[in-house]
Amino acid sequence: MALRPIDNALPITPERPKKQTKVALPIQKQSDVTVNDENKAPFPPTTIDATIDYISSENLKPLPDPEIKIQSLVEGLESKDWLKVCDSLNNARRFALYHSTLLLPILEKVMLVLVKAMKNPRSALCKTSIMASSDIFSAFGDQLLLEPTTSDPFDHLLLQLLLKASQDKRFVCEEADKALKAMVGSMTPLPLLQKLGASVSHSNLRIRAKAAISMSHCASKMGIGAIEEFGLVSLVQLAADLLNDRLPEAREAARSMVASIYEKFTENEEEKLESWQAFCQSNLSAIHAQSIVKVVSSQ
């Protein structure tokens, strides 16, 4: 006897496999691993970073075959590899100290590279470029000011050094201070004082103070003739403004500047203080004259 099918039976369907749950894993970008940010804590030094040597000027040696190596210097300075740029900057220092005539034709390009390297957030590259600027100042001195172009790389270099001398990274700040001292020590005070004049009125307080310190060092090297060529009244007025600056470094630089000017102004005067007081009263406002006279009378 044949069996009858059950009408209400449901058809049997095969069971579908369960979907695997996807888990999102964080991906660490390469740039986050290898690049230090000035605004964050630095990463631990890697093997590559540890190979950077900060060579003092006294320990730099002349280059073998400098006529051949000068041809590849610019290419090395413009490399995308920051390690190669550091090495090329040290070679530029050697050229400056021992083969300056070979470096002179490309000096403007080298200075532009220094400015770019100082802006780099990698501290090793920044410090090496500052050290290179010190050696270039010592080697070329006033030649850096003789033929300014429309871009005037010296102005950009000066501003970067003032910026680096004003920041909180101590080892960069100290190196920039050394470079500014090398600059003042290797250049004629008058044209350098004219260059610094723009920075001493900068809106950044720290830049203004660092510029004032360099101006004070320039004034101490100048005779009364050079001071008068710059503008005796202008220089004293500038010092009077700085005496009221918010930063003590700027005020101290102003007092030092006033003392230098006073010593040279009254060198051949019998009544020194009276002569100085008469000059200040006839050329400055009453309040500025009083503050300037007070600096020298309290010494």
**Whole-number pLDDT of residue 269:** 83
- CA–CA gap between residue 263 and residue 261 (Å, rounded): 5
The token pair at 254 is 């102003």
140 pLDDT more than 70? yes
**pTM of this structure:** 0.80
Are 67 and 163 part of one and the same domain? yes
For tokens 């503008």, the residue is 231
Same structural domain for residues 178 and 224?
no
pLDDT at 16 (0 to 100): 54
Q: Please tell me whether residues 124 and 152 are part of one structural domain.
A: yes
Indicate if 143 and 204 belong to the same structural domain. no
Do 159 and 82 lie in one domain? The reply is yes
Domain CATH code at residue 59: 1.25.10.10
Burial of 114 from C-beta contacts in 10 A (0-12 / 13-18 / 19+)? buried
| Domain end among 187, 210, 232 | 187
Q: Which of 171, 187, 203 is the last residue of a domain?
A: 187
Whole domain around residue 154: which residue ranges?
52-187
Helix axes 123-140, 107-119, angle to 10 degrees: 150
- Residue 32 within any structural domain of the chain: no
Mean pLDDT of the chain: 85
- 172 and 99 housed in the same domain: yes
pLDDT on residue 53: 81
Which has the minimum average pLDDT: 20-34, 167-181, 206-220?
Answer: 20-34
Average pLDDT over residues 23-50: 41
- Which of 94-108, 143-157, 202-216, 270-284 bottoms out in mean pLDDT, i.e. has the lowest? 143-157
* Count of structural domains, the chain: 2
Range name among 45-54, 92-101, 187-196, 266-275 with the lowest pLDDT average: 45-54
Last residue of a domain, one of 187, 206, 226: 187
10 Å Cβ neighbour count for 284?
18
Whether the per-residue pLDDT at 21 is higher than 70: the answer is no
Give the pLDDT confidence of 216-235 residue by residue, as tens digits: 999 999 999 999 999 999 99
pLDDT value for 168:
85
Same domain, 152 and 248: no
Report the pLDDT averaged over residues 82-95.
96
pLDDT digits (tens, 9 = 90+) for 63-78: 999 999 999 999 999 9
Label residue 149 by pLDDT band (50, 70, 90). Answer: low
**Residue 203 above 50 pLDDT?**
yes
Least confident residue range of 45-54, 79-88, 243-252: 45-54
Position 48 scores a pLDDT of 42
Q: Provide the percentage of residues in the chain whose pLDDT is more than 70.
A: 81
Residue 38 lies in a domain: no
